[in-house]
């Protein structure tokens, strides 16, 4: 039985040939390497779905948890040991459907974790239902007349909630995606990286070509300041013929773990239990 | 039985095992045979190893043999995985490009599936149609019925796709005719005047029955193996006036369905065990407010995510006790698609009449398998409407929970002119308003729990088969019915004193009927798809009967007939 | 024999809990045994609430159902309680002196109108100080020196400043003096209570659980407010900084359990607390704890359901739900302490065994236990078990990245923490192989199911929470009378009932089960097999304990005494039911 660090580790990757997950995996691998992070220093918390399988195929610590709950579990990991680099990974169903409530509050709290969302605008592993980021009119087995709802906009959501870093990447551009992943991990606060990727099996609308012809890089836009909330909000609403990629918004307010006095001196997991104070605590009831 | 052939088709995910097994089974069911098709599927979209079984018989069959007569291998892994399951005279059809070894002694036909698929269908993926054609020819069955099924199957993708698949099937058929000169050990003859039967998955049976039972609203979140129910209903929704909503999560699904039910519609939701876990608070709400709802709980191995696409029957006690506080619920555990049709219908009926949540305890094996059914007996379907109108009520005189002494009070639609409808999830008065009174509390608890006794009178007894109970009685619930039935029949025919009791209604527990039947039985055992003998525990708790060692399986697969027989024989 | 109940009744917001807490502490310091319980409506102002402070010279952990001294903070709070008053009881209610209290009738409670609100406004300039006025009157009637109350006020209101302290003292004196002037002579009851004695601890069940958690090294609590569990989170939050505990209020209960699981995976002792309805949202998380083998302590403080039910009342109806919660099968501990004292030790046991076996441990409380305060002699820290189960692994030399979370070492303590140099820890909610990665293989599945369920046997060997009363001394002959079986907080009322019945000549005894999963079947059978008549006494409608006994043993429970109206048992009720049962 090999572990992921073993050179002989060659997992049977359960992704379709041509899946955008392969590119994302490569970008993640490169980012971690460039950051000089050893596998033992990184924790992935994954939800459920094809996207969430990414950490199965990488050397890393991993807590494979429930559908939609990766963010809240990851928050617990980070608060317990802030030395770990914590990455929550999942697809658009995980983060924007089942886990949307947790996304909202993780952004508010500005927990210092990185949220990588593989956004292919469809449910993959359950075979092709529409997702919160499917555009309205998208026809699937559960929306035979076309989805009635407009697509959820995670970037605008993040800007509204003043998440620490709100960004979008594209699986078709590994070098830039790698840079974004690095920026997201480096940022001290909640980082949302919404990664557009094609689902070759179930999404015949938002294909690789479809994205390729629409995405553009904000870094190529002179004078764009991601700290400008109004500008970021306007940019986050851009979709359709032009889709901005890059860091949309940045907010340098302090991360949750920095605000808790309990965590000022050392990680919670390293703190000894103050048993010498127990007796006094009990006596307060006398 | 004279005809009993098992086809086993294997390949990687995405190679179309489901299409092959469905088409083959459908064709044979139309042809007057009984076909039973099951899937063994990995939790992925491409790659890995999936396989399907199609068992054909001239008698109803609801279980699979461990061994097969015809193995169709679309990839090499299939042969490795299943080479030890071949019957003595088994036939192997495989993709010619693979060069499998070690098949001496078996009848083998190598077919250039991908090549023929490319030639006749311009698409290598149509290998599955080629394979089907070749297998049919070997079995001595005519090609036309297959072509007809392929037409129905692919018509929604357009005539071009239909004709290409048909061409591939013919290509495979012709190839086999020219290349295979031996006699095939297993043959299937076309029946002269076939009695055409229905062929559908368990999920489709549940969905169909819901429609026939007057379903108006379904909410759900995709989760294997419940998703096909959601998708079937979504595909029929517009035509049948049913609103089908994919919600953001399972909590929303049950609460939205409860809202629809409260507002006057027959409503339903469904999920797997993990999604049901998120519905537990909603279930308690249904029990407290006495709001009708049908919940399809489609079991799979857990805990947590477990094995997403596999089989288990391990949610029995969870379903019985889910929810904080105490309230009445009904639980059905049908064993076949046919039973599921009547169980689903009865679930709606009881739920509406007694204003209780009704749980259909299903599982992956039931949902994903394809079953052959006779015609649906419409006279057995209950279609009574129970919801009240305000005809005899004075203005604003309606009291939702009056009288407290009755187990179900008239259910008025909110928005009825000059009446108000209050339902409270807090403890409530007969009017439905919040109360803290101890006396009213006692009355309302009595009202909610009192439903069980009334419901018991309406439910049928467990299915015990003909004749007196034998020396050994085997208990089972849900989809283990098929394999238990066949194993018990086989052993019985060989002289063992053994009979079967299938509990298709779990709650309210049919205590009197079970006791009456089993009180003098020498030996009782259970056969179930979980690790802690949940059915045995339930029966012992309810009846105090002693249950000998249970036969358990918890590896994510359904029992095979051989396994069940072997274990039962060991116990004897 | 001292057994008196003081009851304070009024509207929500009038400060009943403050009065009962002050009185309780005062009597506890005076060496009396105290049990305070609250009957609250689910609202913040108005309605009708009451608190009862029972003082006794023997330990008690149940309300008595009889009232000796009633203080009704508004007139409408008087009549609901008259029926429970003892014949020579005293009732003081808020009204002017000339209000018609009726003639003094022998064998009926004595009613004194007292203008408490007016005095509070006049002397304290604040109607909310009605509770100080009332306390002053109580001190007079109890023959207690006012100094003791002044000392309590100084302690309680220290943080609010000298003026508040003085105002309360002045109001108390006003109440004291008024009672002395108008009631003392006519008052028929003489409460001869000691003013000094063995100072005991006084704490609620929730406080005991929170304290037990702190003394077990808890470092993380995440949860969502829900009566009656909220005080646990608030107690921990108030001490978080001092004790190095992170307390996170999550957006919902799903967040509550999953965040704690994340913290536990990362290596800290973690917990969450809720009521039945919140636990209903935690069942998926419970299964994640089971399959990933991540320790966690989950406190469930039951209240009447289903759904919202009675948010502020008591019931014991979540036992079978807690036992079977979650899809498929995974073992868990369930502890059901009967008293605050027991809650302290069992919370510690829950943490220790959850770590040892890497399973979830549930501490099952209820509103009666959670909210009631009881006196405890002391809490013995040397009885606590706090073992570091990861130490064994840290010491072993290990090849880089060779660690496999679910290796079959035969040592379930094999838990390494993420962040350990040159090792990775893979924990999974999918079915998994020994290394922790997703698997579909039948053999892996069987191996892991056997591994998880194989914990049940050694877990069961840890269970010993069966307390018999009276304590058997040596082998007993067949007991002709009934054996009362109970779990959780019902033990107080049942124990008293046993004393009463035995005094009347009925040879009844009881067994209290405080450890319910894995069920101690063998132990219970040993204790109970000799009794001819088993009766369970439980706060639910479907006899859940009886059902559990039938599932796990060959014992036969002949009948059950059930209560499900949201109120706790009293000993008198149990006695009546036992006498009347078949």
End-to-end Cα distance, chain A:
57
pLDDT higher than 50, residue A2:
no
Q: Considering the domain C3-182 in this protein, what is its CATH number?
A: 3.40.920.10
Co-location of B176 and B38 in the same domain: yes
Give the Cα separation of B213 and B352 in Å (integer).
11
Phi, psi of A265 (to 5 degrees): -90, -45
Q: Does A201 touch chain B (CB under 8 A)?
A: yes
Domain C466-580 has CATH 3.40.50.720: no
Sheet containing C296-302: order of strands: C246-249, C220-223, C270-274, C296-302, C360-366, C333-335, C515-517
Domain presence at residue A100: yes
Helix (H) / strand (E) containing C453: helix C442-453
Question: Domain boundary residue among B353, B380, B407?
Answer: B380
Whether B400 and B372 map to the same domain: the answer is no
DSSP labels, B161-215: HHHHHHHHHHHHHHHHHHH--S--SS--PPPSS----EEEEHHHHHHHHHHHTT-
Cα A117 to Cα B125: distance, rounded to the nearest angstrom:
31
Ranking B114-123, B343-352, B538-547, C393-402 by mean pLDDT, the lowest is C393-402
> Which of B262, B324, B438, B447 to mutate to probe the C interface, most C CBs <10 Å?
B324
Q: How confident is the model at residue A1 (pLDDT cuts 50, 70, 90)?
A: very low
Whether residues B44 and B176 fall in one domain: yes
The two beta strands, C509-513 and C466-469, are: antiparallel
Q: Residue A145: which CATH number? A: 3.40.50.970
Residues B236 and B346 in one domain: yes
Indicate yes or no: CB of B14 within 8 angstroms of CB of A48: no
CATH assignment at residue B331: 3.40.50.970
State which residues form the domain around A260: 21-284
For residue A127, the chain B residues in CB contact (below 8 A) are: 45, 222, 227
Q: Note whether A145 contacts B: Cβ–Cβ < 8 A.
A: yes
Which candidate from A12, A13, A141 shows the least CB-CB separation from B231? A141
Asked, as a colleague might, if the bond just before C306 is cis with ω within 30 of 0, I would say yes
Q: Does B227 touch chain A (CB under 8 A)?
A: yes
In this structure, what DSSP letter does residue A96 have? I
Chain B positions in Cβ-Cβ contact with residue A51 (cut-off 8 Å) = none
Least confident of A81-85, C23-27, C121-125, C389-393: C389-393
* pLDDT at residue number C44: 77
For residue B303, the chain A residue with the least C-alpha distance is A66
Q: Is B395 found in the same domain as B374?
A: no
Q: How confident is the model at residue C62 (pLDDT cuts 50, 70, 90)?
A: very high
List phi, psi (to 5°) of C113: -80, 135
Q: CA-to-CA distance for B253 and B245, rounded, in angstroms? A: 8
Q: Does C556 touch chain B (CB under 8 A)?
A: yes
The pLDDT tens digits for B88-134 are: 889 999 999 998 888 888 889 999 999 999 999 999 999 999 999 99
Mean pLDDT value across residues A147-152 = 94
What is the mean pLDDT of the segment spanning B277-302? Answer: 98
Cα separations in angstroms, A106 against A68, A189, B160: 13, 10, 51
| Contact assignment for A271 to C244 by CB distance below 8 Å | yes
Q: What's the number of domains chain A is made of?
A: 1
pLDDT tens track for B425-450: 999 999 999 999 999 999 999 999 99
Q: Which residues of C touch A99 (CB under 8 A)?
A: none
Query: Which of 3.20.20.450, 3.40.630.30, 3.50.50.60, 3.40.50.970 would CATH assign to domain C209-377?
Result: 3.40.50.970
Structural domain includes residue A263: yes
Secondary structure string (H, E, C) spanning C511-538: EEECEEECCCHHHHHHHHCCCCEEEEEE
Residue A262: inside a domain: yes
Mutation site, A67, A73, A124, A133, interface B, largest B CB count within 10 A: A67
Residue A56 lies in a domain: yes
- Over residues C489-515, the pLDDT tens digits come to 999 999 999 999 999 999 999 999 999
Kindly state the DSSP code that residue C235 receives in the 8-state scheme: H
Give the pLDDT confidence score for residue B114 in this predicted structure: 95
Residue A193 lies inside a defined structural domain of this protein: yes
Q: Does C444 touch chain A (CB under 8 A)?
A: no
Whole-number pLDDT of residue B545? 95
Determine the Cα–Cα distance for residues A231 and A246; give it in Å rounded to an integer. 14
In this structure, of A261-270, B225-234, B280-289, C464-473, the range with the lowest mean pLDDT score is C464-473
Quick count: other Cβ atoms within 10 Å of Cβ C176? 22
Restricting to A residues 48-77, those with a Cβ less than 8 Å away from any Cβ of C are 48, 53, 56, 59-66, 69, 72-77
- In the predicted model, is pLDDT for residue B183 greater than 90? no
Residue B112's nearest CA partner among B174, B69, B154 is: B174
Cβ contact (<8 Å) for A43 and C266? yes
For chain C, say whether B447 makes contact (Cβ under 8 Å).
no
Contact between B371 and B365 under an 8 Å Cβ cutoff? The reply is: no
Q: How confident is the model at residue B141 (pLDDT cuts 50, 70, 90)?
A: very high
**Cα–Cα distance, B279 to B295 (Å, whole number):** 9
Q: At what angle do helices B511-518 and B534-543 cross, to 10 degrees?
A: 90
Classify residue A28: in a domain, yes or no.
Answer: yes
pLDDT at residue C188 tops 70: no
Query: In this predicted structure, what is the pLDDT of residue C107?
Result: 64
Rounded distance between C-alpha atoms, residue B210 and residue B229, angstroms: 10
Contact check, Cβ <8 Å, C542/B324? no
Q: What's residue C388's pLDDT? A: 81
Interatomic CA distance for residues B160 and B137, integer angstroms: 24
Instruction: Specify whether B480 is located in the same domain as B409.
Output: no
Q: Closest Cα of chain C to B308: distance in Å?
A: 8
User: How many Å lie between the alpha carbon of B323 and the closest alpha carbon of chain A?
Assistant: 20
Nearest CA in chain B to A64: B305
**In which order are the strands placed within the sheet that holds B217-220?**
B243-246, B217-220, B267-272, B293-299, B357-363, B330-332, B505-507
Tell whether B556 lies on the interface with C, counting CB pairs under 8 A. yes
pLDDT of residue C99: 63
Which band of pLDDT confidence, cut at 50, 70 and 90, is reported for residue C484? Answer: very high
Task: Tell me what pLDDT residue B2 has.
Answer: 86
- Cβ distance B414 to B238 under 8 Å? no
pLDDT digits (tens, 9 = 90+) for C301-343: 999 999 999 999 999 999 999 999 999 999 999 999 999 999 9
Judge whether residue C102 has pLDDT over 70. no
**Residues of chain B positioned with their CB less than 8 A from the CB of C324:** 317-318, 320-322
B396 and B498 part of one domain? no
What are C548-567's pLDDT values in tens digits?
A: 999 999 999 999 999 999 99
Listed range (C153-157, C201-205, C417-421, C436-440) with the worst mean pLDDT: C153-157
What confidence category does residue C475 fall into, taking pLDDT thresholds of 50, 70 and 90? low
Q: Is B273 on the interface with C (CB under 8 A)?
A: yes
A123 to chain B, any CB pair closer than 8 A? The answer is yes
In a domain, A16, yes or no: no
Question: How close is the nearest chain B Cα to the Cα of A99, in Å?
Answer: 8
Q: What is the overall mean pLDDT for chain C? A: 91
A265 found inside a domain: yes
Residue C395, pLDDT > 80, answer: no
For CA atoms C254, C256, C261, C266, give the dihedral sign. positive
Residue C481 confidence class, pLDDT cut points 50, 70, 90: confident
Q: Are residues B153 and B255 in the same domain?
A: no
Fold match, C3-182 / C466-580: no
**Are residues B186 and B268 both part of a single domain?**
no
**Phi and psi angles of residue C263, each rounded to the nearest 5 degrees, phi first:** -65, -40
Do B497 and B529 fall into the same domain?
yes
Q: Please give the model's pTM, rounded to 2 decimal places.
A: 0.96
How far CA C301 is from CA of B141, C458, C492, in Å, comes to 66, 27, 17
Domain that holds residue B96: 4-196
Domain end, chosen from B380, B412, B430, is at B380
Residue B97 CB: number of other CB atoms within 10 A?
12
Cα–Cα distance for residue pair C556/C532, rounded to 1 Å = 9
Buried b (16+ CB within 10 A) or exposed e, B344-358: bbbbbbbbbbbbbbb
Q: Do C277 and B427 touch (CB under 8 A)?
A: no
Question: In this structure, what CATH number is given to the domain that contains residue B92?
Answer: 3.40.920.10
pLDDT on residue C396: 56
CA distances B116 to B125, B136, B157, C277, Å, are 10, 16, 21, 60
Q: Nearest chain C Cα to B326, which residue? A: C306
Beta bridge partners of A115: A88, A192
Q: Please give the share of chain A, as a percent, with pLDDT higher than 90.
A: 94
Q: Is residue B303 a part of any domain in this protein?
A: yes
Would you tell me how many other CB atoms lie within 10 Å of the CB of residue C336?
A: 32
Minimal-distance CA residue of chain C relative to A107: C251
Residue C31 predicted with pLDDT over 60: yes
Question: Percent of chain B scored above 90 by pLDDT?
Answer: 90
H or E element at residue B358: strand B357-363
CA–CA separation, B15 and B75 (whole Å): 9
Nearest chain C CA: its distance from B27 CA (Å): 31
Residues C228-269: tens digit of each pLDDT: 999 999 999 999 999 999 999 999 999 999 999 999 999 999
In this complex, is the C-beta atom of B374 within 8 Å of any C-beta atom belonging to chain A? Answer: no
User: CA-to-CA distance for B257 and B262, rounded, in angstroms?
Assistant: 8
Any idea of the CA torsion for B473, B475, B480, B484, to the nearest 10 degrees?
0
Residues in C 274-303 with any Cβ partner in B closer than 8 A: 275-277, 279-281, 283-284, 287-288, 290-292, 302
Q: Any idea where the domains of chain C sit in the sequence?
A: 3-182, 209-377, 390-462, 466-580
Q: What is the pLDDT of residues A210-267, one digit of tens each?
A: 999 999 999 888 999 999 999 999 999 999 999 999 999 999 999 999 999 999 999 9
pLDDT tops 90 at residue C15: no
Q: Are residues B417 and B549 in the same domain?
A: no
For residue B46, list chain A residues with Cβ-Cβ distance below 8 A.
14-17, 201
Query: Do the beta carbons of residue B330 and residue B347 sit within 8 Å?
Result: yes
pLDDT at C447 over 60: yes
Segment C74-95 shows an average pLDDT of 86
Q: Do A129 and B14 touch (CB under 8 A)?
A: no
Q: Which chains touch B (3 or more CB pairs under 8 A)?
A: A, C
Chain C residue nearest residue B48, CA to CA: C440
Mark which of B399, B432, B459 sits at the end of a domain: B459
Shared domain check, B510 and B424: no
- Nearest residue to C71 (alpha-carbon basis) of C122, C10, C149: C10
Q: Quick check: is B37 in a domain? A: yes
The pLDDT of residue C1 is 86
| 8 Å CB contact of C433 and A1 | yes
The minimum CA-CA distance between C21 and chain A, rounded to whole Å, is 11
**DSSP helix/strand/coil, A118:** strand
Pairwise CB contact (< 8 Å): C280 & B281 = yes
Give Cβ neighbours of residue B373 (< 8 Å, ≥ 6 apart). B197, B198, B199, B200, B205, B337, B338, B341
Q: Which residues of B touch A201 (CB under 8 A)?
A: 14, 45-46
Lowest mean pLDDT, pick from A112-121, C95-104, C414-423: C95-104
- Count of domains forming chain B: 4
Please report, for residues A155, A270, C72, the alpha-carbon distance to residue A113 in angstroms, rounded to integers and kept in the order given.
17, 20, 55
pLDDT digits (tens, 9 = 90+) for B293-341: 999 999 999 999 999 999 999 999 999 999 999 999 999 999 999 999 9
């Amino acid at each position: 039985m090999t572990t992921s660090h073993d050179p002989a580790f060659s997992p049977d990757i359960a992704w379709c040939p041509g899946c955008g997950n392969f590119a994302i995996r490569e970008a993640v691998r490169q980012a971690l390497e460039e950051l000089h992070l050893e596998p033992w220093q990184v924790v992935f918390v994954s939800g459920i779905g094809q996207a969430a399988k990414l950490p199965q195929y990488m050397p890393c610590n991993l807590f494979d948890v429930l559908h939609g709950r990766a963010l809240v579990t990851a928050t617990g990991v980070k608060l317990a040991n802030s030395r770990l680099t914590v990455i929550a990974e999942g697809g658009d169903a995980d983060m924007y459907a089942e886990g949307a409530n947790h996304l909202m509050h993780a952004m508010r709290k500005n927990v210092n974790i990185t949220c990588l969302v593989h956004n292919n605008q469809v449910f993959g592993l359950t075979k092709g239902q529409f997702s919160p980021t499917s555009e309205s009119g998208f026809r699937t087995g559960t929306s035979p007349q076309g989805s009635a709802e407009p697509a959820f906009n995670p970037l605008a959501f993040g800007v509204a909630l003043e998440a620490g870093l709100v960004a979008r990447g594209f699986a078709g551009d590994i070098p830039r995606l790698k840079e974004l992943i690095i920026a997201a991990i480096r940022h001290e606060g909640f980082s949302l990286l919404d990664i557009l990727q094609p689902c070759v099996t179930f999404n015949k609308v938002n294909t690789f070509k479809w994205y390729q012809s629409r995405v553009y890089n904000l870094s190529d836009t002179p004078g764009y300041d991601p700290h400008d909330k109004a500008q970021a909000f306007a940019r986050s609403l851009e979709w359709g013929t032009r889709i901005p990629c890059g860091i949309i918004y940045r907010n340098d307010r302090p991360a949750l773990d920095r605000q808790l006095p309990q965590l000022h001196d050392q990680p919670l997991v390293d703190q000894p239990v103050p048993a010498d104070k127990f007796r006094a605590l009990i006596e307060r009831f006398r | 039985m004279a005809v009993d052939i098992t086809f086993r088709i294997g390949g990687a995910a995405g190679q179309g095992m489901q299409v092959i097994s469905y088409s083959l089974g459908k064709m044979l069911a139309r042809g007057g045979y009984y076909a039973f098709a099951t899937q063994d599927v990995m939790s992925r979209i491409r790659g890995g190893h999936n396989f399907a079984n199609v068992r054909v018989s001239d008698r109803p069959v609801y279980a699979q043999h461990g061994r097969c007569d015809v193995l169709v291998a679309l990839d090499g892994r299939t042969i490795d995985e299943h080479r030890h399951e071949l019957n003595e005279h088994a036939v192997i059809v495989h993709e010619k490009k693979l060069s499998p070894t070690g098949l001496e002694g078996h009848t083998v036909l190598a077919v250039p599936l991908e090549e023929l698929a490319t030639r006749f269908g311009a698409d290598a993926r149509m290998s599955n149609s080629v394979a089907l054609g070749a297998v049919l020819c070997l079995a001595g069955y005519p090609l036309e019925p297959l072509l007809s099924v392929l037409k129905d199957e692919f018509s929604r993708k357009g005539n071009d796709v239909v004709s290409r698949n048909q061409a591939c099937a013919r290509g495979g058929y012709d190839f086999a005719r020219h290349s295979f000169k031996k006699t095939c050990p297993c043959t299937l003859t076309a029946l002269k005047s076939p009695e055409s039967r229905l062929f559908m998955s368990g999920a489709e049976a549940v969905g169909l029955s819901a429609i026939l039972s007057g379903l108006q609203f379904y909410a759900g979140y995709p989760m294997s193996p419940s998703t096909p129910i959601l998708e079937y209903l979504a595909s029929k929704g517009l035509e049948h006036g049913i609103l089908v909503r994919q919600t953001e999560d399972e909590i929303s699904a049950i609460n939205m369905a409860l809202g629809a039910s409260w507002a006057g519609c027959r409503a339903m939701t469904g999920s797997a065990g993990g999604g049901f876990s998120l519905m537990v608070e909603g279930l308690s709400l249904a029990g407290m407010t006495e709001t009708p709802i049908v919940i399809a709980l489609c079991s799979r191995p857990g805990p947590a995510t477990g094995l997403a696409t596999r089989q288990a029957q391990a949610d029995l006690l969870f379903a019985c006790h889910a929810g904080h506080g105490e309230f009445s619920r009904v639980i059905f555990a049908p064993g076949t698609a046919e039973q599921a049709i009547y169980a689903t219908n009865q679930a709606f009926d009881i739920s509406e009449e007694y204003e209780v949540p009704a749980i259909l305890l299903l599982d992956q094996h039931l949902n994903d398998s394809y079953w052959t059914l006779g015609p649906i007996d419409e006279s057995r379907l209950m279609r009574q409407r129970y919801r009240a109108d305000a005809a005899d009520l004075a203005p604003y005189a309606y009291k939702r929970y009056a009288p407290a002494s009755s187990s179900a009070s008239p259910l008025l639609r909110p928005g009825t002119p000059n009446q108000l409808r209050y339902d409270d999830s807090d403890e409530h008065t007969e009017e439905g308003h919040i109360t803290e009174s101890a006396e009213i509390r006692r009355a309302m608890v009595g009202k909610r729990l009192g439903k069980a006794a009334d419901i018991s009178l309406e439910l049928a007894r467990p299915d015990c088969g003909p004749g007196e109970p034998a020396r050994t009685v085997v208990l089972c619930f849900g989809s283990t019915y098929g394999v238990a039935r066949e194993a018990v029949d086989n052993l019985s025919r060989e002289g063992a004193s053994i009979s079967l009791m299938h509990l298709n209604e779990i709650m309210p527990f049919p205590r009197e009927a079970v006791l009456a039947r089993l009180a003098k039985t020498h030996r009782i055992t259970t056969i179930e798809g979980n690790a802690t003998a949940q059915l045995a525990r339930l029966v012992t708790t309810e009846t105090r009967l002693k249950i000998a060692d249970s036969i358990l399986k918890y590896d994510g697969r359904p029992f095979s007939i051989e396994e069940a027989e072997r274990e039962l024989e060991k116990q004897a | 024999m001292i057994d008196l109940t003081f009851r304070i009744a009024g509207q929500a917001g009038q400060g009943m809990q403050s009065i009962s807490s002050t009185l309780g502490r005062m009597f506890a310091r005076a060496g009396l045994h105290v049990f305070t319980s609250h009957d609250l409506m689910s609202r913040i102002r108005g309605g009708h609430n009451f608190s009862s402070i029972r003082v006794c010279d023997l330990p008690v952990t149940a309300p008595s159902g009889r009232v000796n001294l009633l203080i009704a903070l508004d007139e409408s709070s008087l009549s609901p309680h008259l029926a429970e008053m003892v014949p020579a009881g005293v009732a003081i209610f808020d009204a002017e002196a000339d209000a018609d209290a009726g003639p003094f009738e022998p064998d009926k409670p004595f009613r004194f109108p007292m203008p408490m609100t007016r005095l509070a406004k006049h002397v304290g300039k604040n109607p909310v100080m009605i509770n100080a006025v009332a306390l002053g009157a109580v001190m007079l009637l109890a023959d207690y020196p006012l100094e003791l109350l002044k000392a309590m006020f100084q302690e309680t209101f220290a943080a609010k400043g000298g003026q508040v302290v003085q105002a309360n003292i002045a109001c108390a004196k006003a109440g004291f003096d008024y009672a002395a002037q108008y009631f003392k002579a006519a008052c028929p009851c003489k409460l001869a209570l000691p003013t000094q004695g063995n100072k005991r601890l006084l704490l609620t069940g929730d406080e005991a659980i929170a304290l037990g958690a702190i003394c077990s090294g808890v470092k993380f609590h995440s949860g969502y407010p829900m009566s009656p569990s909220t005080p646990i989170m608030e107690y921990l939050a108030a001490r978080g900084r001092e004790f190095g505990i992170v307390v996170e209020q999550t957006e919902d209960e799903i967040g509550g359990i999953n965040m704690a699981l994340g913290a536990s995976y990362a290596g800290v002792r973690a917990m969450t607390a809720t009521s039945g309805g919140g636990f209903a949202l935690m069942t998926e998380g419970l299964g994640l704890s089971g399959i990933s083998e991540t320790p966690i302590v989950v406190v469930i403080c039951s209240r009447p359901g289903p759904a919202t039910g009675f948010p502020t009342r008591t019931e014991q109806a979540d036992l079978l739900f807690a036992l079977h919660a979650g899809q498929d099968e995974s073992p868990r501990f369930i502890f059901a302490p009967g008293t605050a004292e027991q809650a302290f030790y069992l919370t510690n046991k829950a943490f220790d065994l959850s770590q040892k076996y890497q399973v979830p441990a549930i501490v099952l409380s209820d509103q009666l236990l959670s909210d009631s305060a009881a006196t405890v002699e002391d809490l013995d820290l040397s009885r606590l078990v706090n073992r570091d189960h990861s130490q064994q692994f840290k010491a072993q030399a290990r090849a880089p990245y060779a660690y496999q979370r679910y290796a079959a070492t035969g040592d379930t303590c094999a838990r390494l923490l993420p962040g350990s140099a040159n090792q990775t820890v893979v924990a999974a909610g999918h079915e998994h192989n020994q290394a922790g990665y997703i698997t579909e293989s039948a053999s892996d599945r069987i191996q892991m199911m056997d591994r998880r369920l194989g914990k049940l046997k050694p877990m069961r060997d840890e269970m010993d929470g069966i307390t018999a009363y009276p304590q058997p001394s040596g082998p007993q002959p067949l007991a002709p009378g009934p054996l009362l079986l109970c779990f959780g907080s019902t033990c107080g009322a049942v124990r008293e009932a046993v004393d009463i019945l035995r005094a009347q000549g009925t040879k009844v005894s009881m067994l209290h089960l405080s450890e319910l999963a894995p069920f101690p079947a063998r132990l219970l059978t040993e204790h109970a097999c000799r009794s001819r008549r088993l009766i369970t006494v439980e706060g639910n409608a479907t006899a859940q304990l009886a059902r559990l006994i039938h599932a796990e043993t060959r014992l036969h429970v002949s009948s059950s005494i059930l209560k499900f109206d949201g109120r706790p048992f009293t000993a008198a009720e149990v006695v009546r039911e036992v006498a009347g049962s078949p």
